[in-house]
Structure 1
Amino acid sequence: MSLHERAREASDERALAEQADRHAVTLEALLAALRSSRLDDRAARQAAVDIAANALVDLRARSNDHLSVLLEPVTGAFERLRRDLAPLLRYGELDVQFVEPPANGRALPGDVAHAARAIVRNAVLAFVDAGDARRVRIEWGCDGLHLLMGIRDDGRGDIDAHDDSLRPIAEHVSHLDGTMRVASTPGWGTELSIQIPLDPPEPTAALDEDLTPREREVLVRVAGGARNAEIARDLGISEHTVKFHVSKLLRRTGSRNRAELAAAYA
């Protein structure tokens, strides 16, 4: 598989992941409308039809420009997030406070804007699934070098950084070489503090010579186009371990994705 093919495959995977996020939000919104105690049967059915119709229109509108925007104004990216979540929040039980980013904040690279919205969508869906949070505060900011994100709920406060519900968020953050801190206080809720760099790291010319034998085995297979499941079967290790090695290799080489990692190895 060529470098171009691998890059295209990685882009397709991100597109599918985002589409799945959007469908999950739409389905949760449909369920919220149909279960709402504020709507009678007729109003609930009409709300469900409206949600589905709007989602279909939005899907068609996005199909031609997905991930094609190179830069998004930070306020515009935040407004798109609000629109993404509006149907779910209109009929659901979750009260969400949006704290607007500064209007003069630096524009976001397209991949950062998409990942940031996906992070918030995944967090809100996790809170809805848990069923114990009633209020969520979502805040975006910018220090000139990073997108700064804060997501806080008023749930049980028993989530830690290794919780399965945070795995999709952690993967988005790791993919963009960002950092995430999780602070939970029992009875008071959980706060996610996330930093995502707005500039890609400077790529290194070649890999360090001190890779472990296992890291080299993983790297060779990534460069050959193998998926994590294939690498795990081939080496007799878990997919989680493969992901750990790949993330470490990405950081070490300054690569943003598997295609760049393969190019650094070549």
Structure 2
Amino acid sequence: MDSTPGPHTASDAIPSLAVRQAQIEHARNMAEQADRHAVTLESILAILRADRLDDRAARTLAIDVAASALVGIRMETDERRDTRLEPVVGAFARLRNDLRPLVRHGDLDVQFVEPPMTGRALPGEVAHAARAIVRSAVLAFVDAGEARRVRIQWDCDGLNLLISVRDDGRGELTAHDDSLRPISERVIALDGDVRVSSTAGWGSTLDIRLPLDPPAMPDLLPDSMPVSARERDVLRLLVTGARNRSIAEQLDISENTVKFHVSNLLRKAGAVSRAELILLAKRDEQ
């Protein structure tokens, strides 16, 4: 009996694509959770170490911080599914709230420079990533134990969220520092960039740019094929392995509408399955 594997079919490619997407999302979620938990633990330690608090007050505050963290964990799933826009001022306020216990009871003086009220609203993914990036930077400064003051500033130029995080440490931080690797990976994943500048004895500055719009995607079907702008949006998400519910959430339409657009795409492309449609799209992209 011939045991040689047969040729891969179109349907074989879909699970691997979906698995890769799930793995990337899982790693991102785990990194964000780790940052949040680290901030909570650092805050609790700062409370317990505070000389100005007696045992009873420290215990009460530590319980409050832990309880708030538990509530945040329960809301985590819903927050990640939220694809709505966030006003830049509101997103910045949530960051301040994340860091409040650490700022209030720790030795690190964190200064917040408010973004302009007129700044463009942030896509949910950008807002979540920006908060995670700043939390990671602050934790890196805390772990180094050198900085006594950190300045956090957000701005928006209409196309990008501009983040600046500056400390007053020894000024030895470089772009190749291991503590910055999670930040660089997250920024690159959003098609942004990060610059690190340090001055010995004066501190280091992280300047980060996060685009507010996804990078332009090439057309996935020939121009001669009569497809609507919305159908192209659906196809763009379809080739990433997104399922109907995810596509509906990202485009703010119903699942039935997604099914309708997929059906039209199948008919127009002459494909008999979603897998064949994706392969046709990828072939025309090359």
Smaller-chain TM-score bracket = 0.7 to 0.9
Cα distance, 1:104 vs structure 2: 1.1
**Residue in 1 that maps onto 2:83:** 69
Confirm or deny: 8 A CA contact 1:152 1:192 kept in the other structure. Answer: yes
- Distance, in Å, in 2 between the alignment partners of 1:125 and 1:174 is 20
| Change in CA separation of 1:191 and 1:56 when aligned onto 2, cut-off 3 Å | same
- Distance, in Å, in 1 between the alignment partners of 2:160 and 2:77 is 28
Cα distance, 1:13 vs structure 2: 2.6
Q: SS in structure 2 opposite 1:187?
A: coil
| Post-superposition CA distance 1:99-139 (Å, at most 9, x none) | 11111111111111111001100010011111111111100
- 2:101 is the counterpart of 1:80: no
- Distance, in Å, in 1 between the alignment partners of 2:120 and 2:71 is 30
- 2:30 is the counterpart of 1:16: yes
- Distance, in Å, in 1 between the alignment partners of 2:31 and 2:64 is 24
- Distance, in Å, in 2 between the alignment partners of 1:33 and 1:136 is 19
**Residue in 1 that maps onto 2:21:** 7
Q: Which has the larger radius of gyration?
A: 2
TM-score by length of 1: 0.74
Find 2:133's aligned residue among 84, 95, 119: 119
Confirm or deny: 8 A CA contact 1:153 1:191 kept in the other structure. Answer: yes
- Distance, in Å, in 2 between the alignment partners of 1:202 and 1:78 is 27
**Residue in 2 that maps onto 1:167:** 181
Cα distance, 1:190 vs structure 2: 0.2
Find 1:133's aligned residue among 138, 143, 147: 147
- 2:184 is the counterpart of 1:184: no
- 2:54 is the counterpart of 1:30: no
| Moved beyond 4 Å, runs of 4+ | 263-266
- 2:47 is the counterpart of 1:47: no
State the aligned residue count: 213
- Distance, in Å, in 2 between the alignment partners of 1:31 and 1:131 is 14
- Distance, in Å, in 2 between the alignment partners of 1:71 and 1:11 is 20
Cα distance, 1:94 vs structure 2: 0.6
Confirm or deny: 8 A CA contact 1:67 1:114 kept in the other structure. Answer: no
Cα distance, 1:8 vs structure 2: 3.6
One-letter amino acid of the counterpart of residue 211, structure 2: P
Cα distance, 1:142 vs structure 2: 0.6
Confirm or deny: 8 A CA contact 1:67 1:111 kept in the other structure. Answer: no
Confirm or deny: 8 A CA contact 1:160 1:182 kept in the other structure. Answer: yes
- Distance, in Å, in 2 between the alignment partners of 1:2 and 1:165 is 31
One-letter amino acid of the counterpart of residue 123, structure 2: P
- Name which of structure 1's ranges 5-14 and 15-24 shifts more when overlaid on structure 2: 5-14
Cα distance, 1:58 vs structure 2: 2.0
**Residue in 1 that maps onto 2:156:** 142
| Post-superposition CA distance 1:209-228 (Å, at most 9, x none) | xxxxxxxxxxxxxx9x9xxx
| Change in CA separation of 1:94 and 1:67 when aligned onto 2, cut-off 3 Å | farther
Cα distance, 1:39 vs structure 2: 1.2
Structure 2: runs of 5 or more not aligned: 1-14, 221-238, 242-277
| Change in CA separation of 1:204 and 1:134 when aligned onto 2, cut-off 3 Å | same
TM-score by length of 2: 0.69
- Distance, in Å, in 2 between the alignment partners of 1:21 and 1:47 is 20
